[in-house]
Chain A
Amino acid sequence: MKARVHVMLKNGVLDPQGAAVLHALGTLGFEGVNGVRQGKVIELDLSETSRDKAEASVTDMCEKLLANTVIESYRVEIL
């Protein structure tokens, strides 16, 4: 079973990298981009076969390592 974790900065946390990408897009002539937020996607290949157990296990991984919950939120997707 595969899982995909999306890690994003929480709303309200300034994202300097997103702001730099927004600025660079403007430099390239792309208009109408009102905001850019940059995050991470982490794909996991799991031997677990139960969806529920996989989701619980990946959530635990997010809390302990994959996300820093001081500034980041995460979303687990079981594929």
Chain B
Amino acid sequence: MSGAMQDFATHPTDWLVILPVVLALLGGAVLLMLREAREAQFWLALSIVAVIFVSDIALALRVSETGPVAMTMGRWLPPFGISFVADLTSAVFALAAAGVTLLLLVYLRMDMPDRARRDGVYPLILLLLAGVSGSFLTGDLFNLYVWFEVMLISSFGLMVLGGRNIQLDGTVKYGFLNFLATSFFLAALGLLYGTLGTLNMADIVGRAGAANPAVLASIAALLLLAFGMKAAAFPVNAWLPASYHAPPPAISALMAGLLTKVGVYALLRALVMLLPASREVLEPVLALVAISTLILGPLGAIAETNLRRALGFLVIGGIGATIAGAALGNAAGLAGSATYVLHAMLTITALYLVAGLLEAMTGETDTRRMGGIYAAASLPSLLFFVLMLAVAGVPPFLGFWPKLLLVQGGIEGWGFGRDGWGLALWLAVLGNALLTLIAVSRLWAHIFWRAGHEAATTEAPNPDLKPLSPQVRWLGLGSAGVLTLVVLLLGLWPEPLLGFGKEAAAGLLRPANYVVATGLEGAAP
């Protein structure tokens, strides 16, 4: 047992790994105490998230230079201590989450009811960020469960904040089904612990090969159910369109941008990196889930008349694309998944932000009663146009590159003759791009081009449009604009994105560096 403790202190710079989580948790606690100081709360929240953002940048730079960085609590080497490990995937996802949250805080300021501020919207957002960053950075599956729950309880609070009937209804569905998903996750953890005797990710990598493959595959199936439910993959996606349009736009932007992506991240981590043999067994299931999610998501969006519900269905379609990469399991496919998660975090959040502006202008949530925005306000129209092309994956916008990688992965998988799933996935990704394009161009035609309501017969400008107040113009359009600019630039200059995808896929497929970073010797081949 002499090798169970690390005999040197963690280097101060390695503390960077837990800094985002610690800052968010402490910040949430401090903000909770400052409930009365409403103005100070905003500035404090903004500066804390800015510091988290900077530390995430530092972490991502560090990881891209030296490979995965790990820190084990209490110097007990895995499997005894709980590790935090940042590889490039985790660091970049955490960075994107912090960046999105930073812009959201600015956006949220534009029309925050005083009641929401009093009821603690800022502490909840910081705790949500703590949960999301913790999920990305932890190197221990039970710890991942804990961060899931932190994320869940703060998202319950955010969703129900305001207490309108629609929010209560949405939160009931969101709450019950997500709590059920985490219970399944916990059950899978119990079985995994019973089988392998460890829940540390790096340790599982080393031990999974020796265990009974049939037992591991059934545990992996349970994990797939749990994470699929979290990520809103078909057929366990029903909670998402029932709840994500209920809270105010800024809150649904935060959830749509971050929460489902954590489910996808966990799925990639658990099935691709930890239990690769079980992933191969589950490949047909993953492929079927991916294909049906890819096709049914945008079909739902086409049929929908509520703007943010339609966007919710686009979120689901994107989840299908990320699972397609996991189903392919080759380097190109996984790079597609990882880059798609990043793309979805930025693009989907920006779309919800613009949707919030459109709702503010029209006073409506129903696309049939919107209209004439193209004639009235060019800047929101421009933002929506860029984002809709990005989400559909039209080159050279951001969504094109992940889909290109997925298509490449599909062709490669097909070429290796793996039961034709590669071909099917490849076709489904292309079909998803086409259907998404149809869905968003219908939104474009209904909300922007049509002069007014569905029943309007004249070409006269829509008289019901309200001009944006200066505050909304600066804060709302400004934050949505910055996010859209990031989406645009990453699409036009995809070199960093593609480099990240390649690295992320390599890290998931060959976790040797990840294992060594946690201090475990005898890394898996």
Do A and B come together as binding partners? no
Chain A interface residues toward B at CB < 8 A: none
